[in-house]
Amino acid sequence: MDTKDIIISLAYLVSAILFILCLKGLTKPRTAVRGNLFGALGMFVAVVVTLFNNNILGYGEIIFGLAVGAGIGAFLAVKIEMTAMPQMVALFNGFGGLASVLVAGAELLVLSGTVQEAFAKNPKIATAPEGTTAMLIAGLLAGLIGAVTFSGSLIAFAKLQEIKAFKKPFDYPMKQAINGALALIVFGLFVLAVSSPGSFWPYMLLTIVALVLGVTLVNPIGGADMPVVIALLNSYSGLAAAATGFVLNNSVLIIAGSLVGASGIILTQIMCKAMNRSLTHVLFGVMEAGESSMTDDEVYAGKVKSTSGDEVAMLFDSAQRVVIVPGYGLAVAQAQHAVRDLTNVLESMDIEVEFAIHPVAGRMPGHMNVLLAEAEIPYEQLKEMDVINPSFAQTDVTLVIGANDVVNPVARTDPNSPIAGMPILDVDKSRTVVVIKRSLSPGFAGIPNPLFAADNCLMFFGDGKKALLDLIAALKESM
């Protein structure tokens, strides 16, 4: 080890520390921006010192690759719409997984060549050089995990992007049996590859099968569970990077990869808990408890009162306090700016307006915060569930926009419902509830909502954005 190597190693340690500080910073609102910068700095340090590595001979390909990659990455990151963030993360994650597959591939290719040469020179030796097996195992793990991450992330991306062909899971018989068979094949190829260190093709086959496995694993999972899946795949891509670290005997890869792998698992668990789902259920695509105990008819028949923009405007006229409950439908309708306009109008009428943010409203954690922040609605106006729940009793009008499950009182009453036990926003306690949605169709959990049939509830049917614009127009007219 010459002095340069020592400096490179120390720089890797610095960048590993920066990654740790990055993750730590990202867990607190006050330090999150700085944390992210630490992470970027860590990456920069790691890349720069790597360029000084003695083993790097050609710089042409490297500079080309860096430039192209940075261009694509920056373009996507800057151009993407705020509401498309989750699928963007999925896509990036997939790229990371693929990169691990390729790196492991390149190294194992060279390794197989090395082993062949060793055997050619001395045909009598029966075993490959020391360390070969360890490198092989690490490389195969990197390829396997990376490939599953890649194809799985692409499916997750397609589902979140609501690409037609992927909206419903592909249906084919014996899903679990096929997954089992694929896993067996993977195992067999793994053993084969380890026992024939001179061949590269088992690695290629393994990767291809792993790609298929990634598809079949993520395919049956519903679009709404994708955030959890992405968090899990993110953890995987960390593990894949750590595995390549073992192949290359590189500490920063091992540390950063295993950091992401471990913290990703914790984050996955936290997200599952916030959505009241268990990880096994997410992964096997099962909704907790099957059937709703009540049919739509029983719940709604004859009890639903529909309303219009003018009528709601009149309600607001006499209101002093309004709470707005945004849900997934707000994101679908892209109505965040319309909500801001409505808020401004209501405030100009001296009405106190607050937003009730349910932790799992929408389809990703913090979805509503991101959405409303994009429309520049002041942070102080967004109240978390625990804070706002006691105040519904003093609220004149609660306006529910495209939310359903998070205001479904069944969670409190029916222990058999899929959302049983999930804390909900107690909108039914307010004087009047107005719900904006397109129809009576259910939300993510697929169950009817007795709120819509409650005495103090009015349904304002229509697309979220259109309904809001109607409402604003009606309000302005009456002013």
Partner 1 sequence: MGLLAVITAGELLAGITVFVLAVFVGFEIITKIPPTLHTPLMSGSNAISGITLVGALLSAGADHGFLATTLGTAAVIMATVNAVGGFLVTNRMLEMFRKKK
Residues 425/406, Cβ–Cβ less than 8 Å? yes
Q: Which is nearer to ligand NAP, 364 or 382 (CB)?
A: 364
DSSP H or E stretch at residue 396? none
Q: Does 471 bind partner 1 (CB under 8 A)?
A: no
Q: Determine which helix (DSSP H) or strand (DSSP E) holds 18, and give its type and residue range.
A: helix 3-25
Which one of the spans 89-97, 118-126, 165-173, 322-330 is the region binding ligand NAP (CB under 6 A)? 322-330
Residues 22-41 contacting partner 1, CB under 8 A: 22-24, 26-29, 32-33, 35-37, 39-40
Outline where DSSP puts E strands in 264-362.
Answer: 321-326, 352-357
**Among the candidate windows 43-51, 110-118, 340-348, 396-404, which touches ligand NAP by CB under 6 A?**
396-404
- Residue 85 vs 205, nearer CB to partner 1: 85
Q: Which stretch binds partner 1 (CB under 8 A): 224-232, 291-299, 348-356, 463-471?
A: 224-232
The reply on whether position 405 binds ligand NAP by CB under 6 A is: yes
Question: Which of 403, 410, 433, 453: binder of ligand NAP (CB under 6 A)?
Answer: 403
Encoded tokens for 323 = 């709470």
CA distance 154 to 134: 30
Q: Which of 443, 447, 458, 474 binds ligand NAP (CB under 6 A)?
A: 443
Residue 205 found at the interface with partner 1 (CB under 8 A): no
The answer to whether the CB of 411 falls within 8 A of the CB of 421 is yes
Q: How far is the CB of 402 from partner 1 (least distance, A)?
A: 18
Distance CA 46, CA 332 (A): 40
Which region, judged by CB under 6 A, interacts with ligand NAP, from 18-26, 119-127, 325-333, 380-388? Answer: 325-333
Identify whether 470 is a catalytic site residue: no
CB 285 within 8 A of CB 222: yes
Residue 444 token pair: 């993510």
Closest CA relative to residue 385, chosen from 401, 371, 369: 369
- Distance, in Å, from the CA atom of 72 to the CA atom of 407, rounded to the nearest integer, reads 41
Site for partner 1 in 160-199 (CB under 8 A): none
Distance CA 198, CA 17 (A): 37
The C-alpha angle with vertex 350 and arms to 344 and 351, in degrees rounded to 5, equals: 75
- Tell me the closest approach of the beta carbon of residue 165 to ligand NAP, in angstroms: 20
410 binds ligand NAP (CB under 6 A): no
Q: Which helix (H) or strand (E) holds 71?
A: helix 60-79
Q: Pick the closer one to ligand NAP by CB: 25 or 464.
A: 464
Helix, strand, or coil here: 382?
strand
Through-space distance between the first and last CA atoms of the chain, rounded to whole angstroms: 79
Q: Which of 297, 341, 405, 428 is flagged as catalytic?
A: 405
What are the Cα distances from residue 442, in Å, to 61, 295, 433, 438?
53, 11, 18, 11
Contact residue for ligand NAP among 55, 306, 318, 439 (CB under 6 A)? 439
Q: Please identify, using beta-carbon distances, which residue of 237 and 404 lies nearer to ligand NAP.
A: 404
Q: Which stretch binds partner 1 (CB under 8 A): 83-91, 393-401, 419-427, 471-479?
A: 83-91
Residue 286 near residue 386 (C-beta atoms within 8 A): no
| Residue 470, token pair as written in the block | 């109607």
Residue pair 420/432 in contact by the 8 Å Cβ criterion: no
Mark 136-155 with x for binding to partner 1 (rule: CB under 8 A) and - for no binding.
--------------------
Residues within window 271-290 making contact with partner 1, judged by CB under 8 A = 271, 274
Q: Residue 332 interacts with ligand NAP (CB under 6 A)?
A: yes
For ligand NAP, the closer of residues 159 and 437 by Cβ is 437
Query: Does 120 participate in binding partner 1 (rule CB under 8 A)?
Result: no
**Distance separating alpha carbons of residues 236 and 257, to the nearest angstrom:** 9
Q: Which of 4, 53, 176, 305 binds partner 1 (CB under 8 A)?
A: 53
Residue 316 CA to residue 479 CA, distance in Å, equals: 11
**Is 78 one of the binding residues for partner 1 (CB under 8 A)?**
yes
Stretch that binds ligand NAP, among 101-109, 205-213, 373-381, 397-405 (CB under 6 A): 397-405
Among 94, 97, 448, 464, binds ligand NAP (CB under 6 A): 464
Residues 6+ apart with CB under 8 A from 298: none
| R_g of the chain, CA atoms, integer Å | 27
- Within 233-252, the residues that bind partner 1 by CB under 8 A are 234, 237-238, 240-242, 244-252
Q: Report if residue 106 touches partner 1, rule: CB under 8 A.
A: yes
When asked if residue 361 is in the footprint of ligand NAP (CB under 6 A), the reply is: yes
Backbone torsions φ then ψ of 434, nearest 5 degrees = -115, 125
Q: Which residues sit at the interface with ligand NAP, rule CB under 6 A?
A: 224-225, 227, 275, 327-329, 332-333, 360-365, 367, 402-406, 436-439, 441-445, 463-464
Known catalytic residues? 405
